[in-house]
Amino acid sequence: MIFSEIESGLTREGNKIQAFKTDVKATKYLYLMAGVHGDEVEGVYVLKELFDWLKVEHSLKDLPIIVLPIVNLDGYRAGTRVNAHQVDLNRNLPTSDWKPVATQPKYYPGPEALSEPENQFLVKLFDKYKPGFILSFHTWKPILNYNGDCEDIALFLKKYNDYPVDSDIGYPTPGSLGAYGPEKYNCPVLTFECPELRTHKETLKEIWDENEKGLKDLMQSDLITNKLK
């Protein structure tokens, strides 16, 4: 597939948030994104490998895709979950259940919903290129957490990596993308929680190796195209 860099956003510290798009016009787009939490390098690595493959695999059917390799660039550079304003970007989106309360400092949702420039840029993209399905790579314990109508994709990937599949992450996540996508855009969101280094795996390559075939087969399946209709 051929990707072109589109308009970029800026982080809290003024760093450029890159975004790439295939040359396909559509009413709905597949979003591939990672690095919402800056310390989750495993998810960033898996998306990097998938993106590198998409760019050179010209036998693939063209799909309307938006790729955001690292959303929270400030946090990624600092090795922190939160952005430079100490906000958890995955608690800062304007969901109906958003609250300015954090159970722990690492979950600080910001002074108000959508206060952070990283999320303002994300929503601007969503409004311009409507999401039909969002695949967001994170790091925690291996789990395929689906919100909205994408259990079928989670079960498809489970056949390859044997990660647990669940619609409930186990605790409330107000202001999260998983809540915002279905609520605002009627768009399913699959939060792909990669295993954490040291706890589950020894190298980043091991994490990619156990997910490579499943993700590549997914990109060639009708499951994706069906979500974008």
pLDDT score of 38: 98
159: exposed, middle or buried (Cβ count in 10 Å: 0-12, 13-18, 19+): exposed
pTM for the whole thing?
0.97
Q: What is the pLDDT of residue 207?
A: 96
CATH classification of the domain holding 55: 3.40.630.10
Q: pLDDT tens, 21-50?
A: 999 999 999 999 999 999 999 999 999 999
Pairing of strands 29-34, 20-22: unpaired
Domain boundaries, position 48: 3-227
Q: Which residues of the chain have pLDDT under 50?
A: none
Q: How many domains does the chain have?
A: 1
Q: Quick one: pLDDT at residue 28?
A: 98
What pLDDT sits at residue 103? 86
Q: How far apart are alpha carbons 63 and 228 in whole angstroms?
A: 9
pLDDT of residue 114: 98
Q: Which pLDDT does position 200 carry in this prediction?
A: 74
